[in-house]
Amino acid sequence: MEELLKKLTSYNILNNLLPGVVLIAAFPESEIAKFCTENPFFGAVICYVTGVIVSRIGSLVLEPALKKIAPHEPYTDFISASSKDSKITELSESNNTFRTLASTGVCYMAIVVVLAADSKWSLSSNWPTTTKLVCAALLSVLFILSYRKQTGYICKRVRAACDSDKV
């Protein structure tokens, strides 16, 4: 277990493990949360896999929508610029974290809505649940705006690095 933990990079922790832990912890009464607390090793694996799923939802579903509000530079320019400016890679990793945290909020809201539909109760009549949904929505918006801002910084650095080639 110790060797496995040593191999986890900060990227894996922030973009895979943390979102899984947050999402599972958001439903403490669920069987999966109980299982994770009773079985720490398997719980860590389940949290990690859950986080990977959340991260992929962010990458495959959320990112295409985000590209409409935060245009990206061409990937070839990004690769070229990254070799000249190592800060671009750091900014990109942070950006992926923002996207994954936004995806965590979106997944949380989807799970709450599905659970509400399954139990046949109205979201509008349940203030604590509605409050949680509003908080999750606000946090998702916060991370989406952070993603957009960070993308702007990345684009500026990519353009600057590519423009320095032309001089």
Residues 128-148 pLDDT 10s: 777 888 999 999 999 999 999
Contact at 8 Å (CB) between 158 and 81? yes
| E strand segments, the chain | none
Rounded to whole angstroms, how far apart are CA atoms 94 and 98?
Answer: 6
65: nearest Cα among 36, 102, 31, 94: 102
Token digits of residue 167: 């001089």
pLDDT at 10: 82
Tell me which amino acid residue 69 is: I
Q: Where are the domains of the chain?
A: 2-166
Residue with the two structure tokens 């890679």: 89
pTM: 0.85
pLDDT at 64: 95
